[in-house]
Structure 1
Amino acid sequence: MEDRISALPDGILCHILSFLPTRDTIATSCLSKRWCPLWRSVPALDLHLDDQTYLQSGCIYSPFLNFAYATLLSHNAQQPLMLVRLRINTRVGPNYIFPKAHFNILIKAVIKRGIKHLHLEMPLTLPLPSSVFNCKTLVVLKLWQVGVDILQSIDLPVLKILHLDYVRVGGIGYISRILRGCPVLEELRANRVNFGTIVGYQSMPKLVRANIGTNFGVEFPLEVVKNFVLIILFILNYLQVIYLKLLQFNHQQGFPLFPNLIHLELNFVTFIKWYVVFELLIHCPNLQTFVLNKPMARILPQDWACPRFVPECISSQLRRCTVMNYKGTECELQFVKYILHHARALQTMTIQHCLNMWDKFEMLQQLAMCPRGSATCKLLFK
């Protein structure tokens, strides 16, 4: 049988291997002489310390460290490292604390190679070296369940994508400092991160995409993200509280204007204040996609109040609208009817539901008879 894969150029083969864990990549060197040197030029390393792999055999960290050091030393020094994933999943206990000194050495070695994409997942007990936040080559930084000590300086001049998931930062106001140290940041994901006080935040004109989810007492100020193209807000508290704490605006000030926003997703865990939803839509004049993710649990119905006037985005810009977890309540029905009637540019109205067959049939009858402002609008059910 002809081996067509081995006939591919080195660059293509290395790109394919970059999607595999490093252990599997190195294992391909046993296939043939053609494959033997390839792994050394793969532009990505995926190093994963897993409990099942090392701890059950009675070993702790030495085999993993030996493998990690050997991999870095054997890798082609002329080939830049584009992506490094380092995942340390270990059990909690005094006998299983990953040595901080070795971790710092690994991180410094990676940074010296001009790393561009760095993904780190590790125990909160293992603080992240400050050198990560002063890396001049980082374009993408993704941190999951990472502890960050107090930082003396933060300088990420080319960082464009920052993901912070379950990150614990020492001190107050350090999230704002981290963001100020990323002058060209374009995408921010922050999930279960304590943003601390809103003092110190500044507008970030390059930032166009955000996925923000938090349930701490003081929240991320939306004034910072008024230039965004895409916003996903995962609202874990009551919306009225979020409206006051998340935005730090009173009712006279209202929401900031989002003139560039074209995609908005609102995810609710508790009840919806419909008038606040419309107040937000009023401040998104160019919105094209709106996703409303309602609570899974059946809750008390909220009063529906028809808006005094149609938001500009609904009347002229909205192309796609999706309602998740539709249960057929009167408020939900009125909201969908309102969008169908007033959205003249609407292309699709998608209803994602969890109804039984009879309720689904009744819902289809109700929505199919709704007048539509757009003759080309399609009503989709999932």
Structure 2
Amino acid sequence: MDLISALSDDLLAKILLLVPTKVAVSTGILSKRWEYLWMWLPKLEYGHRDCSESECEKLRCFLDRNLPLHRAPDIESFRLELCNSRFKPESINTWVVVALSHCLRELDISYESYPEKPDILPSNLYTSKSLVILKLEGDILLDVPRMVSLPSLKTLMLQRVRYLNDETLQRLLSNCPILEDLVVRLSEYGDTMQKLTVVVPSLQRLTLYIPYNHELYEYVIGTPSLKYFELVDYIDNDHDGLIENMPYLIEAYVDCCCPDIYCLMGSNTSVKRLTICSVAILDGLVFNELEHLEVCLCTVLFSNQLVQLLNASFKLKRLDISLMDGHVPRYMDDWNQPSTVPECLLSSLQSLNWLEYTGEPQERDIVVYILKHARHLKTATITSLESDVPKFEMIKELALSPRASTTCQLVFE
């Protein structure tokens, strides 16, 4: 007997966890000692996006035959990536039932089917006492029954899934008493949800993605314990929003087309770090605790937005100006210097970082203005591509500009 085969079953199972499930199953051909070891694995992952017709059929037959025989008393995670019509809803339903019977802690399903057959989830999923993490993506229908109880669920990710009606999501959330992390990415097409309600007292992280083509008319958010909030809202038509106060919010990421942003940002004035891209008029907002502000180049000069944000942030220590992921630069408005110098430039700003600097007159004027008035600035880092602006000319131009802080260090990358 070789030395590896002489190891205990527990140790061999830990070794098999280091390789994909498919590889672990294939070790069964080595000898009778290895034949059924994979059936003790607590982590199972099957399928992939590029699965051929024949591979999908083999996988379906394999799971139908072997999954009910799995021997591990507890399954830590069960992941399915199924992108083929050969995977029937009733088969997937059965596999999930089997996994749940093993005190399943994490369920992760990505499912695409043509024609669409989204009803794949068993009813007992909604009453699992062991489930801690639930991730669903694609052609999956959430038809939440009246009897719902997920007492252990802490993380819920719903990406492009279907909802039976406007009440479906909140019915599910209302029965997750310790939920901490929620991600909801609405579908661009085929989703009929018009009102999005997220009322979860325990929630600490919330990410909402509302695509351009989604016909959402209202969202209601009640998350008093929230620490991180991310909203990507690309609907440019008017839609109502009721967002209750978030007194413990630390970080917010806002990429929003909505012209009325007060319903959103008015509840987030205690935030300490804010990343924002918005065409809304922000004048009048006050961020009492904001220390780190990142503004997207898309809108940094739109309606003099940067001035509005600086005036609203009395304690600001760090200012980053960059292009957010997936955004493209647009023509900038002229830089209108404020009639009075924002308080943060006089008393608190210590760091300026400008990424993808092009040397356009509007950009140069902003940097020169900040250097001229920021009394406590320690570093100003300017990052550019040689093709955008000649480095020597940029360095010379900014290095010779007046600086309120005698200790400020200019860094060019």
Alpha carbons 1:226, 1:258 under 8 Å: kept: no
Structure 2 counterparts to residues 1-16 of structure 1, below 5 A: 14-15=13-14
Secondary structure at the counterpart of residue 131 of structure 1: helix
Distance 2:346 2:159 in 1: 33
Q: Which residue of 2 aligns with 1:98?
A: 87
Asked which structure has the greater RCO (Cα within 8 Å, sep 6+), the reply is: 1
Q: Which residue of 2 aligns with 1:150?
A: 143
The answer to whether structure 1 residue 126 and structure 2 residue 118 are counterparts is: yes
Q: Which amino acid aligns with 2:44?
A: L
Q: Select 1:66's aligned residue among 47, 61, 70.
A: 61
Identity of aligned residues (%): 22
TM-fit CA distance, 1:126: 2.6
Q: Which residue of 2 aligns with 1:228?
A: 226
The answer to whether structure 1 residue 300 and structure 2 residue 331 are counterparts is: yes
Q: 1:167 to 1:10 in 2, by over 3 A?
A: same
Task: Tell me the TM-score normalized by structure 2.
Answer: 0.66
Structure 2 counterparts to residues 96-245 of structure 1, below 5 A: 96=85, 98-123=87-112, 124-129=116-121, 130-153=123-146, 154-193=148-187, 196-198=193-195, 200-202=197-199, 204-215=200-211, 216-218=214-216, 221=219, 223-225=221-223, 227-237=225-235
Distance 1:121 1:33 in 2: 34
More helix by share: 1
Distance 1:208 1:70 in 2: 41
Q: 1:50 to 1:260 in 2, by over 3 A?
A: same
Q: Which amino acid aligns with 2:71?
A: N
Q: 1:254 to 1:165 in 2, by over 3 A?
A: closer
TM-fit CA distance, 1:349: 5.5
* Structure whose alpha-carbon radius of gyration is higher: 2
Distance 1:6 1:313 in 2: 68
Q: Mark the runs of 5 or more structure 2 residues left unpaired by the alignment.
A: 244-257, 279-295
Q: Which moved more, 1:144-153 or 1:34-43?
A: 34-43
Q: 1:227 to 1:149 in 2, by over 3 A?
A: closer
Q: Which amino acid aligns with 1:126?
A: P
Q: Select 1:356's aligned residue among 387, 398, 406.
A: 387
Q: Select 1:257's aligned residue among 255, 258, 267.
A: 267
Report how many residues are paired. 364
Q: Which amino acid aligns with 1:166?
A: R
Q: 1:222 to 1:41 in 2, by over 3 A?
A: same
TM-fit CA distance, 1:335: 5.9
TM-fit CA distance, 1:85: 0.5
Q: Which moved more, 1:15-24 or 1:266-275?
A: 266-275
Task: Tell me the TM-score normalized by structure 1.
Answer: 0.71
Secondary structure at the counterpart of residue 134 of structure 2: strand
Secondary structure at the counterpart of residue 39 of structure 1: helix
Distance 2:364 2:193 in 1: 38
TM-fit CA distance, 1:142: 1.2
Alpha carbons 1:266, 1:293 under 8 Å: kept: no
Alpha carbons 1:219, 1:246 under 8 Å: kept: no
Q: Which amino acid aligns with 1:85?
A: R
Q: Which residue of 2 aligns with 1:93?
A: none
Alpha carbons 1:119, 1:143 under 8 Å: kept: yes
Q: 1:263 to 1:257 in 2, by over 3 A?
A: same
Structure 2 counterparts to residues 69-84 of structure 1, below 5 A: 69-78=64-73, 80-84=74-78
Deviations 1:247-297 (A, max 9, x none): 699677662333664554446799424666776784897998978544643
Secondary structure at the counterpart of residue 47 of structure 2: strand
Alpha carbons 1:314, 1:342 under 8 Å: kept: yes
Deviations 1:95-116 (A, max 9, x none): x453222221111111111111
Distance 1:286 1:83 in 2: 43
The answer to whether structure 1 residue 21 and structure 2 residue 17 are counterparts is: no
TM-fit CA distance, 1:88: 0.8
Secondary structure at the counterpart of residue 103 of structure 2: coil
Deviations 1:135-175 (A, max 9, x none): 22211111121321432234322221122222222322433
Deviations 1:18-76 (A, max 9, x none): 354321111234456775554222211111166644x1x4x863x32221134423422
Distance 2:341 2:102 in 1: 57
Alpha carbons 1:265, 1:293 under 8 Å: kept: no
Secondary structure at the counterpart of residue 127 of structure 1: coil
Q: Mark the runs of 5 or more structure 1 residues left unpaired by the alignment.
A: 91-95
Distance 1:195 1:283 in 2: 39
Alpha carbons 1:301, 1:331 under 8 Å: kept: yes
Distance 1:287 1:228 in 2: 23
Q: Which amino acid aligns with 2:62?
A: F
